[in-house]
Chain A
Amino acid sequence: MKAVIHIGLKQGVLDPQGRTIARSLAHLGFEDVVAARQGKTIELDLKYKDKSIAETKVKEMCEQLLANTVIENYEIEIVE
């Protein structure tokens, strides 16, 4: 079983990298880009057999290490 975790900055937290990406896209002629937010993806290979246990454990991992919940949000996707 695999977990794919998407981590990004919370709404309201200024993302200077995202802003720079959006500006650069506009320079390239992609003027319809309104905003960009940059985040990261972490993939975990897991031994769990039960999807709901995996979900609970990965959530604990996010809270304890993978995300800094002061500034970041995370989304967990479990792939079987």
Chain B
Amino acid sequence: MKSAVIVFPASNCDRDAQTALAKITGRDPLMVWHEETELPQVDFVVIPGGFSYGDYLRSGAIAARSPIVQDIVKKAKNGLPVAGFCNGFQILTESGLLPGALMRNKGLKFVCRPQKLKIANSDSMFTKAYGDETDVTYPIAHFDGNYYADDATISQLEKSGRVLFRYVDNPNGSMKDIAGICNEAGNVLGMMPHPERAVDPLHGGTDGIKLFKSVLESFR
């Protein structure tokens, strides 16, 4: 499986994503600079965490309008698998690929800690390798992770099984404890927690490995 990681000014989890993808897919991902206008031919794209463009205007707002994201939007609509973690999730909602918005944490504090999650749906290309396992811990580190969408959108997400991850002990005020969702077609994932920072025992846990394995398995 060929993968790519998008690099924006002030991305800071791009190398974590690179290491995770190299370790799990066995191939180094391409690192793609945000000013590129066309994504190289790859099977999977990660939009990493960080503070793209200094979080100016709104978290993820400027990155979502960058040339490379325009191309990602086009290709994701044709089925290209894309995952956005943390700032990547904010960029995906700002780009319109995922519904809703990520607002300031309810407690008005930056939250940085290992976070227990429940896998709400393991029948997706991002979660299938977890099987019956529902309890995972990934790190979180964000200020704007408070997921909001209007009632109609929330009920649509719930009904169609598009909530893939939920917080245990909600850290940021997200509606319905939502930590991660996918688009209608199931090929775009956005989540605030960081599976790419839970792939090595030295990270404190390896619960994130199976997320990347799930994607890898869909190309076998």
Tell me the A residues contacting B by CB distance below 8 Å: 13-14, 16-17, 20, 64-66, 68, 70-71
Contact = CB atoms under 8 A, between A and B. Distances in A.
B62 to A, nearest CB: 8
B202 interface: no
Nearest to B96: A70
Majority SS at the chain B contact face: loop
Interface string B194-216: 00000000000000000000000
A14 B105 CA distance: 11
B104 interface: yes
Interface residues of B, number: 20
Contacts of A13: 103, 148
Majority SS at the chain A contact face: helix
Nearest to B105: A16
B146 to A, nearest CB: 8
B152 interface: no
A16 B108 contact: yes
Contacts of B103: 13-14, 71
Contact of B57 (A14, A20, A66): A66
B104 A71 contact: no
B58 interface: yes
B100 interface: yes
A70 B149 contact: yes
Given A16-B106, A16-B173, A65 B61 contact: yes
Given A20-B108, A65-B65, A66-B57, 13 more contacts: A13-B103, A14-B106, A14-B148, A14-B173, A16-B107, A17-B104, A65-B61, A68-B58, A68-B94, A68-B101, A70-B99, A70-B100, A70-B149
A17 B103 CA distance: 11
Nearest to A67: B58
23 contacts: A13-B103, A14-B103, A14-B148, A16-B104, A16-B105, A16-B106, A16-B107, A17-B104, A64-B65, A65-B57, A65-B61, A68-B58, A68-B61, A68-B94, A68-B101, A70-B93, A70-B100, A70-B101, A70-B148, A70-B149, A70-B150, A71-B103, A71-B148
A64 B65 CA distance: 9
Contacts of B107: 16
Contacts of A20: 108
A17 B108 contact: yes
A20 B104 CA distance: 13
